[in-house]
Amino acid sequence: MPSAGKRESLDLDVALSHVDGDRMLLRELSEIFIEDYPRMLAEMQNSVLGRDHATLERLAHTLKGRLAYFGAGEARDGAADLETMGRERDLAGAWKSLEELESAMAGVLRELESFCRGRIE
Query: Which residues of the chain form contacts with another protein (CB under 8 A)?
Result: 14, 17-20, 22, 25, 28-29, 32-33, 36, 58, 61-62, 64-66, 68-69
72/98 with CB nearer another protein: 72
Torsion of CA 41, 77, 49, 87, to 10 degrees: 120
- What is the nearest approach in angstroms of another protein to the Cβ of residue 14? 8
Phi, psi torsion values for 70, nearest 5 degrees? -95, 5
Amino acid at 116: C
CB-based contacts of 94: which residues, under 8 Å, 6+ apart?
48, 56, 82, 85
Other C-beta atoms closer than 10 Å to the C-beta of 62 total 14
Amino acid at 81: D
25/120 with CB nearer another protein: 25
- What is the nearest approach in angstroms of another protein to the Cβ of residue 101? 16
29/94 with CB nearer another protein: 29
- What is the nearest approach in angstroms of another protein to the Cβ of residue 92? 23
26/94 with CB nearer another protein: 26
